[in-house]
Amino acid sequence: MMKHSGQRVAYVRVSTLDQNPARQLEAVGECDRIFTDHERGTRERLASRVQLEELIQYVRGGDHVVVASMDRLARSVIDLNEVSQRIVAKGVGVEFIKERLTFLAGAEADPFAQFQMNLMGSFAQFEREMIRQRQAEGIAAAKKRGVYKGRARVHGDEQVREMRAQAAQGIPKARIAREWGVSRSTLYRYLEEQPPLPL
């Protein structure tokens, strides 16, 4: 266990497959505060993990975040790198018990751990590039088959008709976009689309 000047703060993530946090709590040991997220699905987004966000807001320089294993903090190398960097940037250490890795900020950083964090960043970048490449290949294949439609429209026909009516009344397009919560480019695309034929 590393010595630290601030609080020892644990993060626990319980999934539907592993409803009991006891093993994680035992691994992290005694802590000043514990943040626990209860994941409902396998595709739970990082942004929906409220307790993780609260932990990041809560910790201060000198604190030490403890996690039972890397897979409890994040589901991908991209997320793991992003979350670890956000925590360390606050002057807070991050310790992964299972992997026996600790990332610290500044002068306290262990050169080997710093190397591993940089390596993790490289893998995250590689993962992002692979995702983009697969996505581009999928779009190209769909276009070739004539089935690519682009991103699905968020607003229904009735809402788009209302936007067109407002534009026809001379209401500024920036105001229409703001009121409907769309970008101006999306609004212009809606205005240029052929309206559906009446039933």
Extract the tokens encoding 15. Answer: 């999934």
SS3 94: strand
Q: Which phi and psi (to 5°) does residue 64 adopt?
A: -140, 115
Query: DSSP code of 154?
Result: S
Indicate if 76 belongs to the active site: no
**What mean pLDDT value characterizes the chain?**
83
Maximum CA extent, the chain: 72
Query: pLDDT tens-digit profile of 80-100?
Result: 888 998 999 999 999 999 888
Provide the whole-model pTM: 0.59
Which of 5, 15, 84, 183 does the annotation list as catalytic? 15
Q: Give the residue from 70, 66, 71, 58 showing the smallest Cα distance to 30.
A: 66
SS3 153: coil
Residue ranges of domains in the chain: 8-123, 157-192
Give the helix, strand, coil percentages of the chain, each rounded to 5: 50, 10, 35
The architecture that CATH gives domain 8-123 is: 3-Layer(aba) Sandwich (3.40)
Walk across the sheet containing 93-96 and list its strands.
33-38, 8-14, 64-67, 93-96, 101-103
Query: pLDDT tens-digit profile of 31-42?
Result: 999 999 987 655
Whether 175 shows a pLDDT value over 60: the answer reads: yes
